[in-house]
Amino acid sequence: MRTVTHPEHEHDATTGDKGMNKARPARLDLRAASGGGLFDYAPAPESVRPDIADRYGLFIDGSFVEPGSGNWFPSINPATEGTMSMIAEASTADVDRAVKAAREALPAWSGLPAKERGKYLYRIARRMQERARELAVLETLDGGKPIKESRDVDVPLACAHFFYHAGWADKLKFALPGRDPKPVGVCGQIIPWNFPLLMLAWKIAPALACGNTVVLKPAETTSLTALRFAEICAEIGLPKGVVNIVTGAGETGRAIVEHDGIDKIAFTGSTQVGKMIAKAVAPTNKRLTLELGGKSANIIFEDASLDQAIEGIIEGIYFNQGHVCCAGSRLFVQESILDTVIDKLSDRMSSLRVGDPMDKNTDVGAINSKEQLATISKYLTLGDKEGAVRHDVCNSSLPDKGFWCRPCFYSGVQPSHTIAREEIFGPVLAVMSFRTPEEAISRANNSPYGLAAGVWTDKGSKIFDVARRLDAGIVWLNTYNKFDPTSPFGGYKESGFGREGGRHGLLAYCR
């Protein structure tokens, strides 16, 4: 294994091999000069601790019910490995109950004056805002993401999606001019663990706005905010059966996909499971949208504003522990600035704080599950073995318990390396170089995925030329990972099909 450590942490170097990284001049190290304490913040733990029940049933037809299966599974806090609550596992018969409830609720819900449907969505959005702190804390405890992310990104965006779609409910004819949009029917929705409440909002808000009813399954490691959302639906008096939440793992998901009474499947998750779902749905009349994995490229040109770019690149891959489908996990750097970018990246990363997700100063939280940590570790081993140079430049100490991974990046990466081709879904960046814009575009497009991309340059003409030629559903220009309900999101190639958000997203939920 060849690794490179930040010069400030040279005592950590295992081999001393600096690979392609030139020796750098010694810097004044204020952190070391002050005994490591000068720039350290005092702990700033989030103080809100919402009540969490010992166990949660299934939300079917407007109330919480026991699972017919009689089975329960634990939801873990990945930062402590402690069990937070026991979650009901929905069997095929339980899914059937939920689908029947959604079917029964459909005529009345889709028959409501559109304006009245919109009012329910506004009520949901306002109640989510009122309970925002509690939702953010639950998201962080159950999933491991830093509280500053769930508080400032996930929950506000989830609320914004309900507000946005509340506005569309009585304006669908304007969204789809010349047509008379009708709901698709009962929607089966399956979501992942990386943005539990936000993915729920992306799925449920447009479905309800267009007059559909839903059966939604959260991921098995992060059920708690979906169950709070169910409480909110009951609190605001949403007609029973319009939203049903069934918890469980892959088998429960499969029961949804295979149920005859479902008109549309919306899935976000791995490409592997997405392909299985596409096969299962192909011979049926069900509609399908898939939002799958990615291996998105961030392209940085020599004329870019470098410090701004570094900040965006860091946010693009290390934000949310790299558990982001559109993470900028491949960085293409113009050759003339490669050394400078590697230096600046190392400097900035050395100050990232990894640790307690409930601390307001934490940058990188816990890896969502033991399984995901094992997957990431497998890729690190492969990256080392195949000959890339690992830069272990983040020196943050790690808690004793929980699932943790220090963010790192690789240089000397070949396009054939596994870490350059496959989705890692962790805080690991592959840095590669290019000479001309043509080369950057062809290398960025050389991937089975096509979800997102980022372009960093000061030249407007280059921005538009390059963006147009990238095979990606979303291209960010001089920024990264910025979301807005008005903007459609979705991929090309093995990243899936269909769009969520914006006017385009409504199409998936209308006939």
Query: Where in the sequence numbering do the catalytic residues fall?
Result: 291, 325
For ligand NAD, the binding residue among 79, 125, 242, 292 (CB under 6 A) is 292
Interacting residues of 47 by C-beta distance below 8 A, sequence separation 6+: none
Query: Could you give the CA distance from residue 357 to residue 359 in angstroms, rounded to a whole number?
Result: 5
Q: Build a one-symbol-per-residue string for 189-208: x at contacts with ligand NAD by CB under 6 A, - elsewhere.
A: -xxxxx--------------
Residue 142 partner contact from Mn ion, ligand NAD, none using kind-dependent CB cut-offs of 5 to 8 Å: Mn ion
Query: Could you give the CA distance from residue 493 to residue 124 in angstroms, rounded to a whole number?
Result: 35
* Residues paired with residue 186 on neighbouring β-strands, in sequence order: 213
Q: Find the part of the chain contacting ligand NAD (CB under 6 A) among 6-14, 73-81, 133-141, 269-277.
A: 269-277
Phi/psi region, residue 131 (left: phi>0; alpha: psi -120 to 50; beta: rest), is alpha
Interacting residues of 406 by C-beta distance below 8 A, sequence separation 6+: 354, 392, 394, 396, 398, 427
Nearer to ligand NAD, 140 or 346 (CB): 140
Query: Could you give the CA distance from residue 192 to residue 222 in angstroms, rounded to a whole number?
Result: 8
Q: Using CB under 6 A, which residues numbered 318 to 347 contact ligand NAD?
A: 325
Q: Find the part of the chain contacting ligand NAD (CB under 6 A) among 3-11, 133-141, 168-176, 217-225.
A: 217-225
Q: Find the part of the chain contacting Mn ion (CB under 5 A) among 221-229, 403-411, 454-462, 495-503.
A: 221-229
Q: Which residue is nearest to ligand NAD (CB)?
A: 253
CB of 53 closer than 8 Å to CB of 213: no
321 sits near Mn ion (criterion: CB under 5 A) = no
Q: CB 66 → Mn ion: shortest distance, Å?
A: 21
At residue 33, φ and ψ (nearest 5 deg) are -60, -30
For ligand NAD, the binding residue among 60, 219, 242, 246 (CB under 6 A) is 219
Nearer to Mn ion, 76 or 420 (CB): 76
425 sits near ligand NAD (criterion: CB under 6 A) = yes
Nearer to Mn ion, 373 or 472 (CB): 373
Nearer to Mn ion, 125 or 137 (CB): 137
Helix runs in 131-247, H state only = 132-143, 147-149, 155-168, 172-175, 196-209, 224-235
423 sits near ligand NAD (criterion: CB under 6 A) = yes
5 sits near Mn ion (criterion: CB under 5 A) = no
Q: Using CB under 5 A, which residues numbered 60 to 79 contact Mn ion?
A: 75-76
315 sits near ligand NAD (criterion: CB under 6 A) = no
Q: CB 195 → ligand NAD: shortest distance, Å?
A: 7
Q: CB 76 → Mn ion: shortest distance, Å?
A: 5
Nearer to ligand NAD, 281 or 299 (CB): 281
**Distance, C-alpha 44 to centroid of its chain:** 25
Contacts with ligand NAD by CB under 6 A: the residue count is 26
Alpha-carbon dihedral 91, 96, 102, 104, rounded to 10 degrees: -150
CB of 485 closer than 8 Å to CB of 328: no
For ligand NAD, the binding residue among 250, 279, 438, 465 (CB under 6 A) is 250
Q: Which of 292, 319, 315 is nearest to 449 (CA)?
A: 292
142 sits near Mn ion (criterion: CB under 5 A) = yes
Nearer to ligand NAD, 87 or 242 (CB): 87
CB of 370 closer than 8 Å to CB of 193: no
What string of DSSP letters covers 125-145? HHHHHHTHHHHHHHHHHHH--
Q: Using CB under 6 A, which residues numbered 375 to 414 contact ligand NAD?
A: 375
Q: Which of 174, 91, 150, 508 is nearest to 359 (CA)?
A: 150
In the complex, the residues that contact Mn ion under the rule CB under 5 A are 75-76, 142, 221
Residues that bind ligand NAD (CB under 6 A): 190-194, 217, 219-220, 249-250, 253-254, 257, 268-270, 273, 276-277, 291-293, 325, 375, 423, 425
